[in-house]
């Protein structure tokens, strides 16, 4: 688990603001759920391995000594969503489009880039089976990535029923489908020969295994004897065609071997990746059965989860954060060396803040040199110095801490003057004046 110092928080908030701004423009609305869920809500939902990774909370008071647990920390955002849909069904619209950006906790052994507390950014659309749902979701995800500055991402699109049809067509017995998909899911990592070896180890006849990996022409997909498979291919083709009219155009491709681990998918499945990151930036798919498991009736749903931590890693490596995020602390230090001018210094700070500058007032009268050193160590670009002389003349001395130059400026215009220098020279403004690329 990690502490986030100011620079980390600014970077995280920047990405979260872009994600939520884009999702809102697509008609998704935010929800938040509590960190603690009743333990019964979570257990049994994530498989045997998942169960072991749930953080469980001890009962309190007289029950504490029993060692019993009644609450558990949120493990993902999908189960809480299903609970919310069940609990508030009457209050929610027929098509419920929500996004949720909150931490989840898993008692995984910590490793490089894997944390026990991490954020998920989920977007889900509930209530429709239309391929427009997948299209809009992939368009929104594309716009998020483009707004963040990613132009080289790839969306892989496949369909769960198409995988089933492929396995059937290759002559793999339905009892072996699950194990075959586990092997197929590794194609990216271990290559064709690796998958063939793994299929063999999993008891799949080699002729069938290699048939799975054979290329298939579009004509053949369309004429699949398996009716569900043919319908699945039509669904994929429809989504691809619709995406051509959107921000996903040029990024999306049919990926007949994309398997995605989670067993609850029932329709289209999708994954987004960039060349310089092993694994994906996010993924999702249609899961028309999962919410029904909670509600006792079928509720169509489709979701996508962006990996905030992975996006942050790639953006840091590629230096994709705007200067305003990287230099987000104070923009002006109001220096304080004469106890008699403290009240004027307070007023000056207020005047500068009124034009949206981020201003730190040095808290105690001290030697100017020390204060300039302090400002430089915090990468504050300007210092404003206000002595008795300046006050008498109605001026402020502004020192540029990058160049070392200083000049006197009329008090009335000092705020707008510094603000324009900052925007001219690209000093950090932390989003306080420039509108965010996607404000909330």
Structural element, H or E, at residue 385: strand 382-385
Contact between 91 and its own copies by CB under 8 A: the answer reads yes
End-to-end, the C-alpha distance of the chain in Å comes to 28
Contact between 261 and its own copies by CB under 8 A: the answer reads no
How far apart CA 334 and CA 327 sit, in angstroms, is: 18
Least separation in angstroms between residue 9's CB and its own copies is: 4
Contact between 139 and its own copies by CB under 8 A: the answer reads yes
Among 172, 183, 247, 335, binds its own copies (CB under 8 A): 247
Geometric angle at alpha carbon 363, from 357 and 369, rounded to 5° = 90
Geometric angle at alpha carbon 362, from 360 and 366, rounded to 5° = 160
Among 35, 213, 295, 368, binds its own copies (CB under 8 A): 35
Structural element, H or E, at residue 234: helix 227-243
Among 250, 378, 423, 425, binds its own copies (CB under 8 A): 378
Stretch that binds its own copies, among 16-24, 158-166, 199-207, 395-403 (CB under 8 A): 16-24
Among 84, 291, 299, 384, binds its own copies (CB under 8 A): 84
Between the CA of residue 174 and those of 59, 107, 276, 380, what are the distances in Å?
44, 34, 36, 65
Contact between 235 and its own copies by CB under 8 A: the answer reads no
Stretch that binds its own copies, among 7-15, 163-171, 210-218, 305-313 (CB under 8 A): 7-15
- The site for its own copies, by CB under 8 A, has a size of 100
Contact between 157 and its own copies by CB under 8 A: the answer reads no
How far apart CA 23 and CA 15 sit, in angstroms, is: 12
Q: Within positions 320 to 339, which residues make up the interface with its own copies, using CB under 8 A? A: 328-330, 336
Among 44, 47, 52, 171, binds its own copies (CB under 8 A): 52
How far apart CA 159 and CA 209 sit, in angstroms, is: 19
| DSSP code string of 321-369 | S-HHHHT-S-SEEE----GGGHHHHHHHHHHHHHTT--EEE-SS---HH
Contact between 430 and its own copies by CB under 8 A: the answer reads yes
Among 41, 43, 50, 57, binds its own copies (CB under 8 A): 57
Among 242, 255, 372, 414, binds its own copies (CB under 8 A): 242
Nearer to its own copies, 91 or 219 (CB): 91
How far is C-alpha 225 from the geometric centre of its chain's CA atoms? Answer: 40
Sheet holding 29-30, edge to edge: 29-30, 96-105, 117-126, 301-306, 282-286, 268-273, 154-159, 252-254
How far apart CA 23 and CA 177 sit, in angstroms, is: 36
Contact between 6 and its own copies by CB under 8 A: the answer reads yes
Close Cβ partners of 194 (under 8 Å, ≥ 6 residues apart): 186, 187
Among 175, 193, 319, 377, binds its own copies (CB under 8 A): 377
Among 48, 90, 94, 392, binds its own copies (CB under 8 A): 94
Least separation in angstroms between residue 362's CB and its own copies is: 8
Among 18, 77, 79, 97, binds its own copies (CB under 8 A): 97
Contact between 293 and its own copies by CB under 8 A: the answer reads no
Least separation in angstroms between residue 254's CB and its own copies is: 19
Stretch that binds its own copies, among 84-92, 145-153, 315-323, 396-404 (CB under 8 A): 84-92
Nearest to 354 by CA among 401, 294, 437, 416: 416
**What are 333's two structure tokens?**
């230090």
**What are 28's two structure tokens?**
């998704």
Least separation in angstroms between residue 333's CB and its own copies is: 8
Nearer to its own copies, 29 or 317 (CB): 29
Least separation in angstroms between residue 225's CB and its own copies is: 27
3-class SS of residue 72? strand
Contact between 58 and its own copies by CB under 8 A: the answer reads yes
Nearer to its own copies, 320 or 342 (CB): 342
Q: Within positions 344 to 363, which residues make up the interface with its own copies, using CB under 8 A? A: 346-347, 349-350, 353, 356-363
Nearer to its own copies, 189 or 440 (CB): 440
Phi, psi of 419, rounded to the nearest 5 degrees: -60, -40
Contact between 273 and its own copies by CB under 8 A: the answer reads no
| DSSP code string of 96-130 | EEEEEEEEEE--PPPBTTB-SEEEEEEEEEES---
Nearer to its own copies, 91 or 112 (CB): 91
């Amino acid at each position: 688990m990690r502490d986030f110092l100011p620079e980390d928080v600014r970077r995280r908030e920047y990405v979260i603001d872009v994600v939520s701004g884009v999702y809102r423009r697509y008609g998704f609305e935010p929800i938040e759920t509590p960190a603690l869920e009743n333990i019964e809500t979570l257990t049994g939902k994530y498989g045997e391995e998942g169960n072991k990774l749930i953080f469980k909370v001890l009962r309190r008071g007289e029950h504490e000594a029993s060692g019993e647990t009644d609450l558990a920390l949120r493990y993902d955002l999908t189960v809480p969503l299903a609970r919310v849909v069940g609990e508030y069904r009457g209050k929610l619209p027929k098509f419920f489009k929500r996004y949720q950006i909150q931490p989840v906790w898993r008692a995984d052994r910590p490793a490089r880039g894997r944390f026990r507390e991490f954020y998920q950014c989920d977007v889900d659309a509930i209530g429709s089976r239309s391929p427009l749902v997948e299209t809009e979701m992939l368009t929104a995800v594309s716009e998020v990535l483009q707004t963040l500055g990613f132009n080289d991402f790839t969306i892989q699109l496949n369909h769960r029923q198409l995988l089933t049809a492929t396995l059937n067509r290759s002559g793999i017995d339905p009892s072996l489908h699950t194990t075959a998909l586990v092997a197929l899911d590794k194609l990216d990592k271990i290559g064709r020969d690796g998958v063939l070896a793994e299929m063999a180890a999993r008891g799949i006849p080699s002729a069938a295994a290699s048939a799975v990996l054979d290329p298939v022409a579009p004509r053949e997909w369309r004429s699949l004897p398996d009716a569900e498979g043919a319908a699945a291919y039509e669904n994929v083709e429809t989504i691809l065609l619709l995406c051509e009219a959107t921000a996903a155009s040029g990024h999306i491709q049919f990926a007949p071997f994309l398997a995605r681990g989670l067993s609850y998918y029932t329709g289209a499945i999708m994954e987004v990746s960039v060349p310089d990151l092993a694994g994906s930036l996010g993924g999702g798919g249609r899961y028309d059965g999962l919410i029904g498991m909670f509600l006792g009736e079928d509720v169509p749903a489709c979701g996508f989860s962006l990996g905030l931590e992975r996006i942050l890693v790639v953006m840091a490596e590629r230096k994709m954060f705007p200067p305003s995020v990287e230099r987000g602390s104070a923009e002006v230090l109001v220096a304080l060396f004469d106890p008699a001018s403290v009240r004027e210094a307070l007023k000056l700070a207020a005047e500068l803040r009124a034009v949206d500058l981020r201003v730190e007032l040095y808290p105690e009268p001290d030697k100017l040199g020390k204060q300039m050193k302090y400002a430089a160590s915090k990468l504050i670009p300007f210092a404003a110095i206000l002595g008795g002389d300046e006050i008498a003349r109605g001026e402020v001395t502004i020192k540029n801490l990058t160049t070392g130059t200083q000049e006197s400026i009329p008090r009335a215009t000092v705020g707008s003057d510094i603000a324009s220098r900052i925007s001219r020279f690209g000093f950090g403004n932390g989003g306080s004046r420039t509108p965010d690329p996607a404000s909330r």
